[in-house]
Structure 1
Amino acid sequence: MKGVQFWAHSFCRSTLALYDELGKRFGVPYRICLGRSGLGLREEIGFDPDEFARLELVELDGSSEVALNALDERKEWHQFFGTYQDVPHVQAALAQAIKEECIVGIGSEAPCNLFEPGGKRIAKALYTPTLARQRVAHVVKYADFILNWSGDGAEPLRQLGWDSDKIIPFGYFPPPLQGSTFTPRDEKHHKDFHILCSGNMTWHRGQDVLMDALVLLKRWGVPVRATFTSKGPLAEGLQAIAKKHDLACDFPGFVSMPELIELYQSCSVFAALGRAEPWGMRVNDALLCGAPLLISTGMGAVKLANDYGYGLSFRSDDAYDLAWRIRELAADGTMYRRINQNLAENHTAILPEEAADRAVSTLLTHCPNWQPAGSR
């Protein structure tokens, strides 16, 4: 291995941090090519461009010519493509890398159907195992492996034609939000049971599932309160339900990054409600601020609850199951303490440094072409 060139979709805190750590562990020169330039909305909501200042970054400026030149400059290096379907100039570089017989690995989310029930959802379900499969067949056949950003959800990748032995379960592992600290929870958090839900209020994010669960909990006499940040198509309806049932809910709208961090650090539990989401990096952000999880099985990040005991999962799109899990956790102080102890003792497992260790260990075992320098 002479070097590694990583191809990133955009300025993603998780993947850029991971590529940095992987490059260090491979023990060779490395750099990162960015399919999309600029922080965009990330900077508007408080992400800091200085996080990336020390990395060697090549912004491709939407140009196939720039992408192909970047490949040509480092074609003797290994090429890791963290996007392979939806950035045309990166796709051009990937096609050329295959033509040049470069050593290629892939990182990608598994296909995920985010559409509401209806014609678009049906069309997406038909597209993935047919036309999408044809479009990526040359990549699937050639690449050494695919790191699955969607955790353990491998079936959608198999629908695209990926062999099971090429699929490496993984996920997203960003560093802590700048300015945040890990804040352990204690009895006062359990006594005043405060549920936090962040993210755009859309059907696939599932905030209405929590609202229906809160109606059930009110009926059962379980005292909890909830905060829903952000806005979106569901916002007006959620507020109407909360008012109708006199629920203890707060809707602050969009909040600044410091305000969001304070909520992550003070809530009793973070609710990740997605009906279907490839991952959900807000889950990592909340966990690294010390918030235990209630998480839908429809989210890739449910892997963090399953693997590390960071919280409880509930059946996707099932308000009754969610309500029951909230009731269970709010009533059982021993369970709440155990989850928080797991999180306090093991939260570093989801930092990019430890995630990179796991990835390199897997590659050492399964991918002879991807051995770090000095490992043979």
Structure 2
Amino acid sequence: MAKVAVYMTGGIAMYKAVQVVRNLEKEGHEVRVIMTKNAERFVTSNTLAALTKYPVLDNLWSKENEASVPHVHLAHWTELALVVPATANFIAKMANGIADDAASTTMLATSAPILIVPAMNDQMWNNPATQRNLQFLKNNQVQIMEPAVGMLAEGYAAKGRMPEPDQISAWVEDLLNKKEILKGKTIVVTAGGTEEAIDPVRFIGNRSSGKMGIAIAQAAANMGAKVKLVYGNVTIPLPQDKNIELFPAPSSEDMLMQVKQEFNRSDILIMAAAVADWRMKKVADHKLKKQADQATLELTLVKTKDILREVAKQKNPDQVVVGFAAETNDLLKNAEKKLREKGADMIVANDVSQNVFGSDKDKVTILRQNGTIEEWPEMSKKEIASKLLIYVNSFIQK
């Protein structure tokens, strides 16, 4: 059972939100409520306090809160945040990091998964500003339940009506169950680009940012897995999560050794790192200086060991290996060849010729050994990470 913080904002659908709180409690969840002052124009805080047996947070400056930091305490307590109903105003505050009352301040301090149930007039829902804010929240892993088409407070039928409480409760339960689908699993994820030394100063590298691998690691941890993140050169902050163990592996040889060691005790390997294909035959022990009469520099390179192939050929029948194929041309042809030759269970193929490195979005195609090919539409890397893990889990369950 989860600790659920329910945020209530000012809309006529507040009367339905009370039933959502009751449903959550019937499912055994511990519920605490945060209300905006406008929400209290429709339902009093006394009603929610009586239902939950906890005081409602609606004011950071009340006498009882003078000696505490209630919004931070509640944010730390929260395991799941649910905004119901979510007005266009509160959605805008969330998307833009505004913290000007108890509800928005607590939300800004919350690191738990967030679900929102918008409810508003259809014109407000369709406004480009609202849709932009919703897309931003989606890109940042906020789950959004689409409003229903039905009779609005204005007296006509259109999209914007809040879904029924039982539908909302079922949606929350479904997402809570999905959150733990990888509980008990150990997953090795690689991220970033490797660096192959030329001399003590220079190296051969690539443009990988590590965003995809890090997104996969974080999504796996959110789904209950124990994650071992083996990373090379990354350009974004590493995740700080108690379920993610970090292993630096600057070179392809370092990454091979670390992956082999960790995968022996793991269930799934997802090779999202951009591993160098070539390294120096001999690394110079001093900086290679440019000479006045020197017009060229010749480097002798040798192939690196293929981590995906090395690990896949040693995996047990109950282990799953997922590789990535970053291609600039002949995407499916090259990905199919990689899948066939390297022995992975599936390949995630993506076209990196169009500024994918460093981008927050990507478009991938999934290829499996049984010949199945699934082309996914463009989405954020965080969305791809979650969808990929759900897909891999369903593959394991078969």
Verify same fold: TM over 0.5: no
Q: TM-score range by the shorter chain?
A: 0.3 to 0.5
- Name the one with the larger strand percent: 2
Normalised to the residue count of structure 1, the TM-score between the two structures is: 0.34
Q: Does 1 or 2 have the higher relative contact order (CA < 8 Å, sep 6+)?
A: 1
Normalised to the residue count of structure 2, the TM-score between the two structures is: 0.32
The structure with the larger Rg is: 2
